Amino acid sequence: MKLPARFTRLMLNGFPPLFFNRIAITYLSADYQQMEVLVRKSLFNKNLQGTIFGGTIFSAADPYHAILYWQLMAHRGLATEAWLKSAEIDYHRPGHTHLRLRFAVTEAEVHEAERALKTEGRFQKWHEVQALDAQGQPCATIRTLVYLRLRNLQQVKTPEPAQAIP
């Protein structure tokens, strides 16, 4: 399903698990190749030490690369299912301030995904994103493994069988 970037941003910003964790998309490029997410420190996401819960930081990195790929492929005419297959996080320091995460998918990665989907019907790739505090210092580094597969396997191009030479 092809969605306008503005609608996607508004829809996700109202999604309760993100909204109540004070996670918001502050920027989404019209071409779906870049996104910025803000985690606002608030009463809803502070732990006993007064810093942002680690789970909130992890949630802020969860769906976004998969959503970017899903829409990038939809805008290229490929109906896919996309999800986060695996993730890992390294915490560097407590989140005492709001945190920013910047997500990007390069044109080369888009072509790599499109090629894999058209030939194999699936694609997976690791991406890394940092949660930066107000001073630009990394509070956490998150690695996510995005997995995509075609909804309709008829879109996979299978090689033509070789013709027998008489």
pLDDT at residue 1, rounded to an integer: 82
**165 falls in which pLDDT band (50, 70, 90)?**
low
> Spelled out in words, what is the top-level CATH class assigned to the domain 5-153?
alpha beta
Stated pTM of the model? 0.87
Residue 146: C-alpha distances to residues 44, 85, 94, 135 (Å):
28, 6, 26, 29
Decide which of 165 and 97 is more confident.
97
Spatial distance between the Cα atoms of 32 and 40, rounded to a whole number of angstroms: 23
| Partners of 113 in beta bridges | none
At 5, list the tokens. Answer: 């970037």
- pLDDT tens for residues 74-127? 999 999 999 999 999 999 999 999 999 999 999 999 999 999 999 999 999 999
Query: Does the pLDDT of residue 161 top 60, yes or no?
Result: no
What are the boundaries of each domain within the chain?
5-153
Spatial distance between the Cα atoms of 91 and 106, rounded to a whole number of angstroms: 26
pLDDT at residue 147, rounded to an integer: 98
